[in-house]
C-alpha cells in the first residue's frame, strides 16, 4: 500500500511478531508515546490492516465525606440509631445531621411522622447504598445514589488492545519500504532542488489533526469588553463607583419612595453600617415630601433621614450616573458604567443574586427622546442585533420611559433593558437643567442571547468543555 506513512509501516512491523498487544507495549517497541501508538493503530485500522479494541474500566473512590460516613454510618443511619422507638420532631431536628438525614429516613421508609412525632416503622437492614459505601465497585446497585450524594467519585481508565489482521500480516511478509520520509523541507533543500530526490511524507487532508485548546478570554468577559469598546467608539467615557452605596444614592436620589417594595429587606442586601448624608441632601428630602421648587408634588408622606443613611450593596449602577452628573454639571456629557449589582433573587436559570448591569447617560442642550432611541438602536445594531423596536415603559426616575426589544431568531422579540429621560425630581435638586437621557440593561441577558445559553448560571461555571468550544471571536455576518 503506497499510501501508508512510515510510522504506520513501522507500527505494522512491530505488531506482526506479537500478533496482538496493548498500546503501551507497542509504544515501548516504537519508542513513542502511547497516544501516538493508538493513532497509528487507528490509521492502520482504516486500511483494514489492524483491529483496535477500546477497553474501559470504571473504579470508584470515596470522597472525604464518604470516608467519614463509611466509618460512622450514613446520616440517616446515625439518626436512626440515636433514639429508641419514637422521638418528637423537635428533638429529632436537634440532631446535628437532621438537615441531611431526616429526608432520607422518610425516603427509605424507616420512620413515619405523625402529629409531630417520628416513629420507627420496623427493622432497617443495610441498604444497597450502605453496602456499596463499604466497598464501592462498578455495577453495584447502590453506586448511583452515592454518586448523587457526592459520596463517591467515578474514575474511568481506558486502554487499547491491537491485533494485526490477515491483510496486515500479508503486507508485512511481502516486505515494507522503511526508508525515512521527509516531512519538513529546509531552506537549502528548496534552493538546491534536492527535495526532488527526497522521499516526501504523504499527508491526508481528510484526517483531522489533534485539537489544540489555546488560552483565551472567557466568553462572558469578551462580551463585556466588546460592550465597552462599542460605547467608547460611540464617544462615551466610562464611569467608576463604589459597590457599597447608601440608600440615599441607591434609592432616594433617584426619586424612589422610602416605602417602595424594592427597598424591602427581602429584595435588597442591607449592610450593618451607615454613611453620612451628602451636602444638599435636604433638597432631595424636600423633593420627596412636596416636590421642592419644581412643579412636582413629590410623594408626600414621611421621609426618614436614618433610612437614607443605611448602606446597601448597590441594586443598580444608576447611582453612579447621578454622582457623575453632580461632578460634571456642564454639558455635553456622554458616560457609561458597567459593573456588578446585587439583588436578593432566588437562583434559577434566569435569575442570580448578582449580575452585571450597563448604565449610560447623555446630557446636552437640545437632546430629546428621539436622540435616546437613536443611541439605543445604534448600540444594539453594533452588538449584532439588526432589528430593534421600542414600547412604552415605566420607571420611577425617568419620564417618558421606554423598553427596547430586539429580534432573536427562534425566540422572537426579547426585552433588553429600560430607558428614558431623567425626571426633574432627579436632576433639579443638583441644579441640572439640561435634559439627561439615561438607560440601563443587564449585560448577562445579552450574553445569553449571543452565546445561545438557556441557563444564566452557565456564565459563571467552570465548564472546561464549554469554554474550549466557545469561539474566540464573533463571526461577522
pLDDT in tens, 95-126: 999 988 999 999 999 999 998 899 999 999 99
The CA distance from 162 to 20, in Å, is 6
399 is in an annotated binding site: yes
Enclosing domain of residue 138:
64-150
Cell of 44: 492502520
226 and 347 share one domain: yes
When the pLDDT of each residue in the chain is averaged and rounded to a whole number, the result is 89
- Residue 60 assigned ligand-binding role: no
Q: Decide which of 130, 150, 170 is a domain's last residue.
A: 150
On whether both 135 and 270 belong to a single domain, the answer is: no
Is 165 inside any structural domain? no
Q: Is 357 annotated as a binding residue?
A: yes
* pLDDT of amino acid 450: 86
Residue 21 falls inside a structural domain: no
The pLDDT > 70 percentage for the chain reads: 98
Pair 51, 12: CB distance under 8 Å? no
Residue 294 falls inside a structural domain: yes
Q: What domain count does the chain have?
A: 2
CA distances from 4 to 28, 40, 41, 49 (A): 21, 10, 12, 11
In a domain, residue 18? The reply is no
Same domain, 258 and 346: yes
Task: Verify that 377 and 460 share a domain, yes or no.
Answer: yes
Q: Binding residue per annotation — 15?
A: no
DSSP one-letter code for 288: H
Q: Is residue 71 part of a domain?
A: yes
Query: Does 477 belong to an annotated binding site?
Result: no
Whether 280 and 408 share a structural domain: yes
Q: What is the largest CA-CA distance in the chain?
A: 104
Residues 144 and 252 in one domain: no
- Using alpha carbons, select from 33, 53, 39, 51 the residue that is nearest to residue 8: 39
E strands within 259-409?
270-274, 310-313, 333-342, 354-363, 388-395, 398-408
234 and 146 share one domain: no
Whether 475 has a pLDDT exceeding 60, the answer reads no
* Per-residue pLDDT at 184: 83
Annotated ligand binding at 422? The verdict is yes
Q: Does 318 carry a binding-site annotation?
A: yes
Residue 172 has pLDDT above 70, yes or no: yes
Query: 416: which 3 cell numbers?
Result: 433588553
CATH number reported for the structural domain that contains residue 96 in this entry: 1.10.10
Q: What is the pLDDT of residue 4?
A: 82
Decide if 2 is inside a domain: no
CB 189 within 8 A of CB 195: yes
Same domain? 365 vs 269: yes
Does residue 137 sit in the same domain as residue 229? no
Tell me if 209 is assigned to some domain: no
Confidence band (pLDDT; 50, 70, 90) for 334?
Answer: very high
Name the domain boundary from 112, 128, 150: 150
pTM across the whole model: 0.60
Domain assignment present for residue 17? The answer is: no
Q: Give kind and range of the element (H or E) at residue 228.
A: helix 219-233
CATH of the domain at 245: 3.30.930.10
Nearest to 304 by CA among 245, 261, 251: 251
As a whole number of angstroms, the distance between CA 284 and CA 63 comes to 57
Boundary (domain end) residue, out of 119, 150, 181: 150
Amino acid at each position: 500500500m503506497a499510501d501508508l506513512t512510515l510510522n504506520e509501516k513501522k507500527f505494522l512491523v512491530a505488531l506482526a511478531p506479537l500478533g496482538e498487544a496493548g498500546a503501551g507495549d507497542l509504544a515501548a517497541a516504537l519508542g513513542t508515546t502511547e497516544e501516538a501508538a493508538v493513532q497509528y493503530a487507528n490509521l492502520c485500522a482504516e486500511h483494514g490492516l489492524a483491529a483496535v479494541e477500546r477497553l474501559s474500566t470504571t473504579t470508584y473512590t470515596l470522597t472525604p465525606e464518604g470516608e467519614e460516613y463509611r466509618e460512622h454510618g450514613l446520616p440517616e443511619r446515625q439518626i436512626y440509631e440515636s433514639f429508641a422507638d419514637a422521638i418528637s420532631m423537635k428533638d429529632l431536628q436537634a440532631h446535628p445531621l437532621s438537615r441531611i438525614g431526616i429526608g432520607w429516613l422518610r425516603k427509605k421508609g424507616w420512620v413515619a411522622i405523625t402529629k409531630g412525632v417520628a416513629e420507627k416503622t420496623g427493622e432497617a437492614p443495610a441498604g444497597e447504598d450502605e453496602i456499596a459505601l463499604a466497598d464501592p465497585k462498578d455495577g453495584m446497585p447502590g453506586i448511583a445514589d452515592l454518586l448523587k450524594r457526592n459520596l463517591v467519585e467515578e474514575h474511568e481508565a481506558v486502554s487499547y488492545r491491537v491485533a494485526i489482521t490477515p491483510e496486515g500480516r500479508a503486507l508485512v511478509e511481502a516486505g515494507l519500504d522503511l526508508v525515512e520520509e521527509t516531512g519538513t523541507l529546509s531552506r537549502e533543500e528548496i534552493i538546491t532542488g534536492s527535495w526532488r530526490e527526497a522521499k516526501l511524507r504523504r499527508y491526508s487532508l481528510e484526517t483531522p489533526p489533534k485539537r489544540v485548546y489555546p488560552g483565551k478570554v472567557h466568553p462572558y468577559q469578551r462580551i463585556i469588553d466588546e460592550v465597552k469598546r462599542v460605547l467608547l467608539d460611540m464617544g462615551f467615557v466610562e464611569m467608576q463607583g463604589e459597590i457599597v452605596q447608601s440608600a440615599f444614592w441607591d434609592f432616594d436620589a433617584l426619586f424612589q419612595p422610602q416605602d417602595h417594595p424594592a427597598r424591602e429587606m427581602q429584595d435588597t442586601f442591607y449592610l450593618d453600617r451607615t454613611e453620612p448624608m451628602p451636602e444638599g441632601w435636604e433638597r432631595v428630602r424636600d423633593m420627596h415630601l412636596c416636590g421642592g421648587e419644581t412643579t412636582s408634588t413629590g410623594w408626600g408622606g414621611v421621609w426618614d433621614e436614618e433610612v437614607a443613611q443605611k448602606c446597601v450593596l448597590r441594586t443598580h449602577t444608576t447611582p453612579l450616573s447621578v454622582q457623575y452628573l453632580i461632578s460634571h454639571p456642564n454639558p455635553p456629557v456622554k458616560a457609561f458604567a458597567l459593573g456588578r449589582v446585587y439583588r436578593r433573587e432566588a437562583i434559577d436559570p434566569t435569575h442570580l443574586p448578582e449580575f452585571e448591569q450597563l448604565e449610560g447617560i447623555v446630557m446636552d442642550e437640545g437632546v430629546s427622546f428621539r436622540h435616546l432611541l437613536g443611541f439605543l438602536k445604534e448600540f444594539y445594531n453594533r452588538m449584532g442585533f439588526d432589528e430593534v423596536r421600542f414600547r412604552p415603559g415605566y420607571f420611577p426616575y425617568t419620564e417618558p420611559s421606554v423598553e427596547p426589544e430586539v429580534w432573536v431568531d427562534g425566540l422572537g422579540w426579547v426585552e433588553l433593558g429600560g430607558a428614558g429621560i431623567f425626571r426633574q425630581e432627579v436632576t433639579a435638586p443638583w441644579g441640572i437643567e439640561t435634559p439627561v437621557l439615561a438607560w440601563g440593561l443587564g449585560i448577562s441577558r445579552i450574553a445569553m442571547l449571543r452565546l445561545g445559553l438557556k441557563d444564566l448560571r452557565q456564565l459563571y461555571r467552570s465548564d472546561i468543555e464549554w469554554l474550549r468550544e466557545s469561539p474566540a471571536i464573533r463571526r461577522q455576518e
